[in-house]
A = this chain, B = another copy of it.
Amino acid sequence: MDLRENLNWRAAVKKFDSSRKISHEDLQKLLDCLNLSPSSMGLQPYRFLHIKSKEIREKLLPFSFGQPQVVDASDFIVLASHTQINNEYIQKYADLLEQERNLAPEFKEAFLNSAKGYLSLMDQDQKMKWAAHQVYLASGVLLCTAASMQIDACPLEGFVNEKYNEILDLKSYHLHAELCVALGYRDPSDVISSLKKVRIPLDQMLIEF
- Residue ranges of A at the interface with B (Cβ–Cβ < 8 Å): 3-4, 7-8, 10, 12, 29, 31-33, 35-38, 40, 42, 44, 47-53, 56, 93, 96-97, 100-101, 129, 132-134, 136-145, 148-149, 155, 157, 168, 173, 179, 195-200, 202, 205-209
Contact = CB atoms under 8 A, between A and B. Distances in A.
Contacts of A138: 140
Contact of A133 (B12, B52, B96, B133): B133
Nearest to A30: B4
Contacts of A196: 100-101
Given A4-B36, A32-B202, 19 more contacts: A3-B29, A3-B149, A4-B29, A4-B32, A10-B36, A10-B38, A38-B143, A42-B198, A47-B207, A48-B206, A48-B207, A49-B206, A101-B195, A136-B137, A137-B137, A137-B143, A139-B140, A140-B141, A140-B142
A205 B205 CA distance: 35
Nearest to A49: B207
A199 B143 contact: no
Contact of A33 (B4, B145, B157): B4
- The copy count of this chain in the complex is 2
Given A133-B136, A137-B143, A96 B148 contact: no
Contacts of A136: 133-134, 136-137, 140
B140 A208 contact: no
A179 B40 CA distance: 11
A21 B53 CA distance: 49
B7 A141 contact: yes
A145 B207 CA distance: 20
